[in-house]
Amino acid sequence: MSSFQIRPLGDNCVFTADGLTLFSFRIHELSGCRHVGLVGNAYTGLNNFDYYLSVNGYDVTGDIITAPISSGDCPPCEPPAITAAGADSVPYCGLGVNLWAEASGSLPDYAWYRPDGSLLSWLPQAQAPTAPAGLYTLVVSNACGADTAQVEAVLDTNLCVPPAIDSAWFDPAYWGTVIHNYQLHAAATGSCLGYEWTMPWGETIQAPGLLTFVTVPNPIAGDYRLVASNACGSDTLVLSLVPPEPCTGPTISGAAITSADSCYTGPAAFEVSVGGAGPFTTRWYGVDGQVITGSTNFTLPYAPWGNYTFTASNYCRTDTVVVFHGPADTTGLAACEPPQILSLSASPTACLGDTVNVVAATALTGPCPSLLWSNATVLSTSGDTVRAVLSHSGPVRLTATNACGQAVAEVPMNVITPTFVDRNLCHVTEPLWIDSLLATSVTPPTGGQWWLNGAPHNAIYNPAVDTSGIYRYIVDTGGVSCSVVDFGLHEFPGVYAGEDSSITVCSSDPPFPLFGMLGGEPQTGGSWRYGLLAASSTFDPAVNAPGVYRYNIQTLGSGGGCTDFALVTVAVDTASTWYADADGDGLGDPADTLLACNPPMDYVAVTGDACPAVPGTVGDPCDDGNPATVNDTLGTDCVCAGDLDVGIFGNAINGVALYPNPGGEGFALSGLTQGPALVRVLDMQGRVVLGRASVSDGGWVRTASLAKGSYVVEVRTGEGRVQRLRWVKE
């Protein structure tokens, strides 16, 4: 086969036997056996009669080639074999690998894979400055086979290449057609370098992560110092940024501060325009010299009067403008005359709420003139005469102000102001003297008259006919009748919270409602409090704290209401543990208890009754009803039993004992120093339950056939001596 064509893009791109690389399309080995290689791995998985093509890493073979190459001169194929492979040590920071390999075989194709399995390189020697230490896989393949090896790139913490800066430069970064900022770049060699730039104004900026550049929003002319460093050294370079000539600085125009009324401080709009070569750094400074904002146009909610400064800077120059914010002064503050109040006249006496005429003569010129009346509401002004309502208590004052001063004067007038008193009447059933209701607040002068709703009223409040309202006591003062007392009487239905009470409960008592503890017949609908905290209406002795609980009840109406309260004092006694005493012996059963403050019936405070169904406890004396026994006592089985009378004490065998006692399956004897003895076992009624048996010292007597209880063991020696011992089977 001498030649062929592949047309992936029609007539725009033709691959021939001469070979061609265009964009990311690639075919290689178009001679001899006609092997066609991928952009990535050329031979892995292929045979002598296949060819493939990829575009930007995607297999597009089927879209391009319609038939395989089926003929050609194909020499014998030798499978690949890796003959050498290795890796340099990885520097101290853990990044940067240098891998190499050699292989034999027909046209071997190399592929290096990272520790995570991703492809690193298709070349025999692979270098990656950011690859980590670890185990790398090498695959060498061709048309007839493949070979694999693993190479470890070992981390060497002592391996460090000192920094060496090759060069540094700056580039403008554009935002559209406008320069947005500048980037300072560096090229250097060394292990895992860190880059730090120091600006001409002293600020230090570090390159983030693995980047080798920093971004400077508004650079200025000057020296920018670069330090490249790692664990084994550093290198320094100075980059001088020189502005282009000629240098065009910013131009400020249209700086203005506007407000709705320049005579009063309040919201103000700031605006300015900046021209020239950017980018710009802009600042507005307040009257105190502090920075307000970097915006050119903004609104300040409260702008004090004074001088404001605006600055604009670019990389080579700064421009400044000062703008005054305050009242307009056409004559100049130096010529401004402070205001004067020449005279004030009005009626000598008036009542609060009256409408009066006040004549004010003033000398008020200059910028921002104003007149302000205090404690009076102005209705109208005609020349020097002001018609106003005496709306507030206190003297009537006039304040005259302009941009250079202020004057204050008080109107020579006696304003009669009433004393204001409010009182709620709760559950009133009989007529009351109004003066008596005021006794604790104020005493009205004599000679006056009570009024209600504009009509005279007698000095008695009768709940049967009178209503809530403002009762005014009017007195003639200097020819003017004024109210000297405004008495607000507000009648509401009465409420009753009950009577105070006290109760002592036990900590083991069940929860109970506090309302039921109140004396009298309290009204429902109130709330409970414990100190300053809201409290539940139910008291749980096991949970709630003892103390005083307050019941509040209130009826509300327009303007107020009536309230009442009552107190319930709760004391809590701590419960004790009581033990059941079913047998009446004064000892309680520890397994049957009650918690109570007072002793329950058939319960006692003393525990320890091991025999709750029998009077007494283990070891107490009793009577087993057998006259032949002595020393009757309650055993561990709570059975009363005594020892059989052994007769003559002199016949007893000294030192004989049995063990274990109590026991289970049997017992043994000790102390038989004279040889074997005859042993038999009797119950507590004297009946033989185990016959005689010869037992030596330490010999075992089996008692498996015996029921649990107390028994008598009779021991008889060859000398005729007898001893009876008590034994308990459990």
Q: Are residues 101 and 185 in the same domain?
A: no
On whether residue 587 sits in a domain, the answer given is no
Q: Are residues 127 and 103 in the same domain?
A: yes
Give the pTM: 0.37
Q: Are residues 345 and 320 in the same domain?
A: no
Q: Are residues 426 and 447 in the same domain?
A: yes
Residue 338: pLDDT over 60 = yes
Q: Are residues 549 and 535 in the same domain?
A: yes
On whether residue 38 sits in a domain, the answer given is no
Q: What is the pLDDT of residue 516?
A: 93
Q: What's the structural domain count of the chain?
A: 7
On whether residue 348 sits in a domain, the answer given is yes
Name the residue among 679, 683, 704, 676 with its Cα closest to residue 691.
679
Strands 109-113 and 119-121: antiparallel
Residue 32: pLDDT over 70 = no
| Residues 425-449: tens digit of each pLDDT | 887 888 988 888 887 778 888 888 9
Q: Are residues 370 and 446 in the same domain?
A: no
Last residue of a domain, one of 296, 325, 354: 325
Distance CA 461, CA 118 (A): 101
On whether residue 550 sits in a domain, the answer given is yes
Q: Are residues 633 and 725 in the same domain?
A: yes
Confidence band, pLDDT 50/70/90 cuts, at residue 253:
very high
On whether residue 620 sits in a domain, the answer given is no
CB 364 within 8 A of CB 405: no
CB 727 within 8 A of CB 667: yes
Which 3-state string (H, E, C) describes 275-332?
ECCCCCEEEEECCCCCEEECCCCEEEEEECCEEEEEEEECCCCEEEEEEEECCCCCCC
Q: Are residues 337 and 404 in the same domain?
A: yes
On whether residue 610 sits in a domain, the answer given is no
Percent of the chain with pLDDT over 90: 26
**Domain CATH number, residue 440:** 2.60.40
Residue 39: pLDDT over 50 = no
Which segments within 597-676 are labelled E, that is strand?
603-604, 629-634, 640-644, 657-659, 666-670
Last residue of a domain, one of 444, 475, 492: 492
Q: What is the pLDDT of residue 11?
A: 46
Last residue of a domain, one of 325, 351, 382: 325
Q: What is the pLDDT of residue 645?
A: 54
Residue 481: pLDDT over 60 = yes
Q: What is the pLDDT of residue 358?
A: 93
| Residues 389-407: tens digit of each pLDDT | 988 888 899 998 887 778 8
| Residues 484-541: tens digit of each pLDDT | 899 988 888 888 899 999 999 999 999 999 999 999 999 998 999 999 999 999 999 9
Q: Are residues 141 and 219 in the same domain?
A: no
On whether residue 278 sits in a domain, the answer given is yes
Q: Are residues 642 and 714 in the same domain?
A: yes
Structure tokens at 198: 């120091």
Angle at CA of residue 45, ends 39 and 47, nearest 5°? 100
| Residues 126-141: tens digit of each pLDDT | 888 778 889 999 999 8
Q: What is the pLDDT of residue 557?
A: 62
Q: What is the pLDDT of residue 280?
A: 85
Segment 164-184 mean pLDDT = 72
Confidence band, pLDDT 50/70/90 cuts, at residue 81:
very high
Q: Are residues 135 and 215 in the same domain?
A: no
The boundaries of the domain holding residue 649 are: 629-729
Least confident of 274-288, 320-334, 589-603: 320-334
**Domain CATH number, residue 516:** 2.60.40.10
Q: What is the pLDDT of residue 425?
A: 85
On whether residue 710 sits in a domain, the answer given is yes
Mean pLDDT, the chain, as a whole number? Answer: 80
Q: Are residues 409 and 433 in the same domain?
A: no
| Residues 264-304: tens digit of each pLDDT | 778 999 999 998 887 888 999 998 889 999 899 999 888 88
